[in-house]
Structure 1
Amino acid sequence: MPERRLTPDEIDRLARKRAGAKLGWYIHATVYVLVNLVMLGMSHHGFGTRPWSVFPVLGWGLGLVLHGVSVFVLGRGSGVREYLVRRERERLERENSGPSP
């Protein structure tokens, strides 16, 4: 089945959505680095006897990685997400074109 071509308005809307998602990740990564640098400094210069800052770095880092996967891998309009959308669309079309009750 040939894929439908996008209109210029749809292309613009999709481009803005994807750019916004990427910008959101860049902001997330910047805040992650800045906050964790502050926590690292606090951890090593008087706020506790052990380096406790590794725990928030790892936890938040996992969240940042998952956010990046959702933006750059699953959200780019091809690959896994497009494959799943195409399969679901085909399944729904088959169900919808079946015999009427």
Structure 2
Amino acid sequence: MEDKYIAEQKYTQAKKRVKKIKGFYTHLAIYCIIIPVIIFVNLKFEPHFHWFWFSALGWGTGLFCHWLNVFVFNKTGLTKNWEERKIKELMNEDKNYK
């Protein structure tokens, strides 16, 4: 029974991870499509002031933070370890009160 529960937990965690990775790549694809459009519009209609840098750098910063969240912090297990420790802590507290 517990083996099935653990397998279901692993499946659920893997599914969440895949959803996060898919979300990042969707974000990256949209960035790669929209930023060139913004650059084109800027250079076509207002070539003397390159305001597209504000969009590219601002959105790029958000994209970088998204990448960190999906691949760096999640890969090292910083968030996962905390979650699992907290779950165990709460389960132990629950056992102590019964």
Give the TM-score category using the shorter length. Answer: 0.7 to 0.9
For residues 90 and 26 of structure 2, what CA distance do their matches in structure 1 show?
37
For residues 34 and 71 of structure 1, what CA distance do their matches in structure 2 show?
21
Give the TM-score normalised by the residue count of structure 2: 0.74
For residues 24 and 96 of structure 1, what CA distance do their matches in structure 2 show?
35
More helix by share: 2
For residues 19 and 94 of structure 1, what CA distance do their matches in structure 2 show?
30
Percentage of identical aligned residues:
26
- In the alignment of these two chains, the number of paired residues is 96
For residues 32 and 50 of structure 2, what CA distance do their matches in structure 1 show?
17
Is the alpha carbon distance of 1:56 and 1:82 closer, same or farther for their aligned partners in structure 2, counting shifts above 3 Å?
A: same
Query: What is the alpha-carbon root mean square deviation over aligned residues?
Result: 2.7
My pick for the range that moved more, 65-74 or 22-31, is 65-74
- Report deviation, 1:85: 4.0
SS at 2:10 equivalent: helix
Structure 2 gaps, min length 5? none
My pick for the range that moved more, 10-19 or 85-94, is 85-94
Give the TM-score normalised by the residue count of structure 1: 0.72
For residues 20 and 91 of structure 2, what CA distance do their matches in structure 1 show?
30
SS at 1:50 equivalent: coil
Structure 1 gaps, min length 5? 1-5
- Report deviation, 1:84: 3.7
2:77 alignment partner AA: G
- Report deviation, 1:80: 2.4
